[in-house]
Amino acid sequence: YYFVEKQVSFGPRVISSKGWQECALWLEKKFKTYTKNIIIQQAPITTYDGKNHILKNIIASFSPEKNNRIALFAHWDSRHIADHDTVNQNSPILGANDGGSGVAVLLEIARQFSNKEPNIGVDIILFDAEDYGQPENSEYPIMQDSWCLGSQYWSNNLHKPNYFARYGILLDMVGAENATFRHEEISSYFASPILTKVWRKASNLGFGNYFIFKKAKQILDDHYYVNTITGIPTIDIIEYDPATENNFNKHWHTHNDNMQNINKNTLNAVGQTLLEVIYNE
Ligand code: AHN
Ligand code: ZN
C-alpha cells in the first residue's frame, strides 16, 4: 500500500514528465536495495500523437545466473489523459490502480526476495509507455500497436541475449476493493497451465473470492506482445468487473483512479498468491 502511495506522490507518471523522471529514479533506487542486478533499458519511441520520447523499462533480476527462471511484469507509467472521465479529459491521471498497484506488488515481492531467495531465478520487468495508447476519439491518423510500447520494445530487444523464462505473469489493475480476476482469453490461449496453477494456489490460500474460475474476453495488454513476440507463455492478472461497460475497473482512465481506489486486502491477495507460487517452484 505504501509503495502505491509513494508512486502516486510523484503525480502522474507520463513519459518524459517530471513525475515520471522522479519516479523512475525512485524505482531504480528502491530496487537497488533489494538486488544489485538492475538494468534500465532505454529506447526512442514515437507515440500516436507524433511526439518523440525515450522510454525506460526497469528490470530487476534475482539469481541472474540460473537458467530456470520466470518473469513478472507490470507497467509503471500512467495514462496521459483521462479519456473515460466526464471532466478534465485532457489532464493526466494518477493511475494508483492502473500502473501503481502492479508495480507496488512487485516491489514488495522484490523486498521479500531480498530476505529469502527463491529456488528459481526471477526477473521483475517494469514496462514504460503501456498506457500512451491512442484514444477512441483521436483526431490523429490511426496508429497500429499504439499501446504497450515498452513491452513491444522489450519483447523485440530482450535485456539479455537468448533470454528465456519458463513463464510470465503480468499484473495490471490489481489493487481495487473487491476486484475479481478471471481467465482472460489471450492468457488461456498461450498459457492455460499457468492460469490453472495460479488460480488453484489462490483458492488454496483462501483468495477464491478474488481469483474466479470463469472466462473473460481478450484484453490487449503487455502480455499479448510478450506471448506473440518472445514465446514466453504469459498470463495477465487484470481486474474484470462485470458491472461496467468495458469490464475494467469503474475508475479506469478517470481522475478517480487515486488512492481511494486502492485496497490493502486486494494487494495482499495478489502478492501472497504470487509469493506462494514462486517459493514453491
Ligand atoms: C486497451 O484498452 C486496448 N487495453 C487495455 C490495456 C490497459 C490500459 N491496461 C491498463 N490500461
Ligand atoms: Zn490504462
In order along its 281 residues, the chain shows pLDDT tens digits of 999 999 999 999 999 999 999 999 999 999 999 999 999 999 999 999 999 999 999 999 999 999 999 999 999 999 999 999 999 999 999 999 999 999 999 999 999 999 999 999 999 999 999 999 999 999 999 999 999 999 999 999 999 999 999 999 999 999 999 999 999 999 999 999 999 999 999 999 999 999 999 999 999 999 999 999 999 999 999 999 999 999 999 999 999 999 999 999 999 999 999 999 999 99
Q: How many helices (H) and strands (E) does the chain have?
A: 7, 8
- How confident is the model over 170-205, as pLDDT tens digits? 999 999 999 999 999 999 999 999 999 999 999 999
Q: Are 169 and 235 in contact (CB under 8 A)?
A: yes
Residues 6+ apart with CB under 8 A from 32: 38
- How confident is the model over 93-117, as pLDDT tens digits? 999 999 999 999 999 999 999 999 9
Q: Which atom of ligand 1 is nearest to the CA of 220?
A: 4
Question: Which ligand has the shortest distance to the CA of 145?
Answer: 1
Q: Determine the Cα–Cα distance for residues 276 and 202; give it in Å rounded to an integer.
A: 9
How many whole angstroms from 148 Cα to the centroid of ligand 2?
10
Q: Determine the Cα–Cα distance for residues 136 and 258; give it in Å rounded to an integer.
A: 23
Give the environment of ion ligand 2: residues with CB less than 5 A.
79, 98, 131
For ligand 1, atom 6, which residue shows the shortest CA distance? 221
pTM of the model: 0.98
Residues 6+ apart with CB under 8 A from 273: 198, 201, 202, 205, 207, 211
**What residue ranges line ligand 1, CB within 6 angstroms?**
98, 131, 133, 147, 172, 219-221
Question: Which ligand has the shortest distance to the CA of 80?
Answer: 2
Q: Determine the Cα–Cα distance for residues 257 and 48; give it in Å rounded to an integer.
A: 23
CA 134 to chain centre: 19
Q: Which value, in Å, is the radius of gyration of the alpha carbons in the chain?
A: 17
Residues 6+ apart with CB under 8 A from 9: none
**How is the chain split among helix, strand and coil, in percent rounded to 5?**
35, 20, 45
Residue type, 224: Y
Cell numbers that stand for 274 in this block: 504470487
